[in-house]
Amino acid sequence: MKTYELRIQGFSGTGEALAMQEPVARVLCPVEAHNGPCDVPWGFTLADDTDDLLLGIYATPEKAAEVADQVRAVVGGRTVSLAEGAPGRFEELIEQYQIEHPED
């Protein structure tokens, strides 16, 4: 497992990018107030140089590809690219997973 970034592009500004967080979050966590951890640890940030929305996940390569396909289905034709996570970004997802899955 490792961190991955899904870059969601095609927003007209920061506000539009931030508004997309909720529909994408429901892909990863359909029931917001559920018991136990999410299947895939995730988090958002904005790209430093653009209005792109970055979704970080901690997953296997297969699960990351599956999540990317699910996100593409809800972002209204925007470009979604999947890449390994940038060093230092989304590292809290690894810690979150380790806390939530101590047996792994």
Percent with pLDDT over 90 in the chain: 71
Pair 53, 43: CB distance under 8 Å: no
pLDDT at 60: 96
pLDDT at 104: 67
31 by Cβ neighbours in 10 Å (0-12 / 13-18 / 19+) ranks as exposed
- For domain 2-100, which architecture applies? 2-Layer Sandwich (3.30)
pLDDT at 103: 76
Residue 46 structure tokens = 């904005």
Of residues 69 and 99, which shows the higher confidence score? 69
Separation of alpha carbons 66 and 62, rounded Å: 6
pLDDT tens-digit series, residues 11-62: 999 999 999 999 999 999 887 777 778 889 999 999 988 999 999 999 999 9
